[in-house]
Amino acid sequence: MKKIFFFLFVSLILVNLSCTTKTEEKPDVTIEIKVSKNGYQPNVINVERNKVVLFKITAEDEGIPKEPNSKYYGHCFYILPPYDVMVENVGKGETKEVKVKMVYPGHHIFTCPYCSDFFPTKGDIYVK
Chain residues binding Cu ion by CB under 5 A are 63, 75, 112, 114-115, 121
Distance CA(60)–CA(69), nearest Å, equals 24
| Whether 81 contacts 93, CB under 8 Å | no
Q: How far is the CB of 21 from Cu ion (least distance, A)?
A: 22
Pick from 127, 122, 128, 126: nearest CA to 41 = 122
Closest to Cu ion by CB, 28 or 61: 61
CA 87 to chain CA mean position, Å: 5
Q: How far is the CB of 121 from Cu ion (least distance, A)?
A: 5
Closest to Cu ion by CB, 102 or 115: 115
Closest to Cu ion by CB, 115 or 125: 115
